[in-house]
Structure 1
Amino acid sequence: MTPYVTAVLEEFDEYLALQCGRSEHTRRAYLGDLRSLFGFVEQRRPDAKPSDLTLPLLRSWLSAQAAAGAARTTLSRRTSAVKTFTAWASRRGLMDVDPATRLQVPRAHRTLPAVLRQDQARDAMDAFDSGAQQGDPLALRDRLIVEMLYATGIRVSELCGLDVDDVDTSRRLVRVLGKGDKQRTVPFGEPALRATQAWLSDGRPSLATQSSGAALLLGARGGRIDPRQARTVVHQTMAAVDGAPDIGPHGLRHSAATHLLEGGADLRVVQEILGHSNLATTQLYTHVTVARLRAVHDQAHPRA
């Protein structure tokens, strides 16, 4: 890309962060999509600028992505990235008109997420018992990771961003900063409370250093744990549970939502717990529970 386009994308990144409140993950994905777009355009128009973007070019780029095997969810995100960028660029005067106003976002096929059965969830929560009982700091931390993800249904990025003061052990509440810098409060149960207390009293002090700050969860060197480490913990835990699907932190989030609904929780309550801005996103979990009912019916009913 030209230095001019690079500077424009840096300014767009600041806009996403400061005015839109987009997460680092979203911004990185959007910028990667836009670099791909300008790389595609520069093959046809060297020294391409935002003003060189046209609707046919945008459609050609998306068609090339689809032909290369990009999933519909990926195409949907890339379309959203382009539409956000061109709307911003046109307001900034970098292009005379917004070429993406008529660019349609491909609808992603919604698939039923893999979830744990409730007995598998119990086995997963018990996976660290031996190490935790021996006081191993990393085992205490890993147990808290799995317990808190399942107990609250929060995102792994939200978990890793927690500070010690964000957890209210007296009321069993955790204060979470979610997408768009929206704050919400989520309750958790007695097992997660015990895991939290054990970590704070016997685990965290063993790993904490001067650089730890207020971070709740720490890595082996005392720094704040990152989502990649937490994902590894969850995958390793699932591998130790017989018959459990290979799910990560988001799978525990799916499982928590599904089990809440199966237990009779109101859909609006689950929406608030998960931090969904749109109820339609939460309704996906009702499809999961219906699918389970249908599977049981097919197996058990004599005229299924």
Structure 2
Amino acid sequence: MQRYLSYRKTQGASDDTVNNNKLYLHRLLEFLESNRVKKFSELDNQHILKFINGLGYYSKSTIHCMLSSLRGFLKYLFENGILEYNLTYLVPKSSYKKEARLPTTYTKDEIKHLLASVDRGNPKGKRDFVMVLLAARLGLRASDICGLKFENVHWETNTIHLVQKKTKKKIELPLLTEVGNAIIDYLKFGRPQSDLPYLFLRAGQPYDRLEEPTLHSIVSFYLKQAGIKNIENKKHGPHALRHSLAGILLEKKTPLPVISEVLGHTNTEGTKTYLRIDLDTLRQCALDVLPLNTPLFEGVK
């Protein structure tokens, strides 16, 4: 199984995908151990079918991912001569499709209230303000904000250069005056003394690099602090601020390729999902409902 996970990495699978494969294969391993199967060469049809039948109490999305991981692993076992027969035919195709959901967005006024709620009179507030700004003004993902290093900030050109953790794509973003001043304020009066290359560190000891879940909690805290309504029923992490930036750019009639470049998407397909939140423009596409006495509705009861 470890060899298969290493193989998946060589095939270009992301760290998240490999970790998910690891989780699902661990469940397979537990099943095989409980059924006293000590070698993969001992696997037969009945083992696979019994394992699949035991997935019924999982969610549809989990079953879909489990079957996909199982199919890929069985193919690997066969192609490497560990299994005599290719048992992938036993794994049913899943008809599950992820339901499309509208991205969570906040208005320009709500973002303004969010930023105003951060107390910048202390080191932690100075740090939090910069991180929230990077998500709200530049649309950076939490992973890229937490991984931002001194070398990524190019003061001589007023730009930020980085390779996105998720897409591995290089992006160049403008170092807005507001963002640059906030970074300087944090570095001079807020950041603990440390030789670590990362801009953002924990506010208390040990002064390690800040992790993504912490940033999510930070954004969530200030959204509540700002008194923004109904956040319990909305996403309230840094990714929601990224979505909000896309919505604000759409309101300004920014072309889709430009928004795609700002968000660091590999192509405009990933950006098209934000078209669904541009309600003003969508209203222009709405058609009038025809009267019932038109020929179109003849014979309709």
- With the shorter chain as reference, the TM-score category is 0.7 to 0.9
* Stretch deviating more after TM superposition (82-91 or 265-274): 82-91
Aligned to 1:140: 126
Aligned to 1:12: 4
**Larger % of helix: which?**
1
How far off its partner does 1:80 sit? 4.0
How far off its partner does 1:91 sit? 3.8
Mark the CA change 1:113 to 1:92 in structure 2 (over 3 Å): closer, same or farther.
Answer: same
Alpha-carbon distance between aligned partners in 2 of 1:195 and 1:87, rounded to the nearest angstrom = 52
Mark the CA change 1:166 to 1:16 in structure 2 (over 3 Å): closer, same or farther.
Answer: farther
Residue-by-residue CA offset, 1:75-108 (whole Å, 9 max, x unaligned): 4444443344344444433334261686346211
Where structure 2 has 5 or more consecutive residues not aligned to the other structure, the ranges are: 287-301
Alpha-carbon distance between aligned partners in 2 of 1:158 and 1:98, rounded to the nearest angstrom = 41
How far off its partner does 1:179 sit? 2.2
Aligned to 1:284: 273
How far off its partner does 1:58 sit? 6.8
Alpha-carbon distance between aligned partners in 1 of 2:46 and 2:180, rounded to the nearest angstrom = 54
Aligned to 2:253: 264
Say whether 1:36 aligns with 2:27.
yes
CA contact (8 A) 2:159 2:172 kept: no
Alpha-carbon distance between aligned partners in 2 of 1:77 and 1:208, rounded to the nearest angstrom = 44
Aligned to 2:294: none
Where structure 1 has 5 or more consecutive residues not aligned to the other structure, the ranges are: 1-7, 298-304
2:198 is matched by which residue type in structure 1?
A
Give runs of aligned pairs for residues 64-75 of structure 1, distance below 5 A. Answer: 64-65=54-55, 67-72=56-61, 74-75=62-63
Say whether 1:81 aligns with 2:69.
yes
Say whether 1:223 aligns with 2:221.
no
* Stretch deviating more after TM superposition (159-168 or 96-105): 96-105
Alpha-carbon distance between aligned partners in 2 of 1:53 and 1:185, rounded to the nearest angstrom = 52
Alpha-carbon distance between aligned partners in 1 of 2:173 and 2:49, rounded to the nearest angstrom = 42
Alpha-carbon distance between aligned partners in 2 of 1:59 and 1:271, rounded to the nearest angstrom = 45
SS of the residue corresponding to residue 158 of structure 1 reads: helix
Between the aligned residues of both structures, percent identity stands at 23
Alpha-carbon distance between aligned partners in 1 of 2:262 and 2:50, rounded to the nearest angstrom = 38
What is the Cα-based RMSD across aligned positions, in Å?
A: 3.2
Say whether 1:199 aligns with 2:190.
no
CA contact (8 A) 1:38 1:48 kept: no
CA contact (8 A) 1:80 1:105 kept: no
Mark the CA change 1:252 to 1:32 in structure 2 (over 3 Å): closer, same or farther.
Answer: same
CA contact (8 A) 2:37 2:43 kept: no
Alpha-carbon distance between aligned partners in 2 of 1:185 and 1:274, rounded to the nearest angstrom = 10
SS of the residue corresponding to residue 179 of structure 1 reads: coil
Alpha-carbon distance between aligned partners in 2 of 1:105 and 1:185, rounded to the nearest angstrom = 39
Alpha-carbon distance between aligned partners in 2 of 1:226 and 1:187, rounded to the nearest angstrom = 24
Aligned to 2:219: 234
* Stretch deviating more after TM superposition (75-84 or 114-123): 75-84
Mark the CA change 1:84 to 1:198 in structure 2 (over 3 Å): closer, same or farther.
Answer: farther
* Stretch deviating more after TM superposition (276-285 or 192-201): 276-285
**Structure number with bigger Rg:** 2
How far off its partner does 1:139 sit? 0.8
* Stretch deviating more after TM superposition (86-95 or 187-196): 86-95
SS of the residue corresponding to residue 190 of structure 2 reads: helix
1:47 is matched by which residue type in structure 2?
K
Mark the CA change 1:268 to 1:178 in structure 2 (over 3 Å): closer, same or farther.
Answer: farther
Q: TM-score, normalised by structure 2?
A: 0.77
* Stretch deviating more after TM superposition (99-108 or 217-226): 99-108
Give runs of aligned pairs for residues 41-60 of structure 1, distance below 5 A. Answer: 43=34, 46-47=37-38, 49=40, 52=43, 57=48
Mark the CA change 1:146 to 1:77 in structure 2 (over 3 Å): closer, same or farther.
Answer: farther
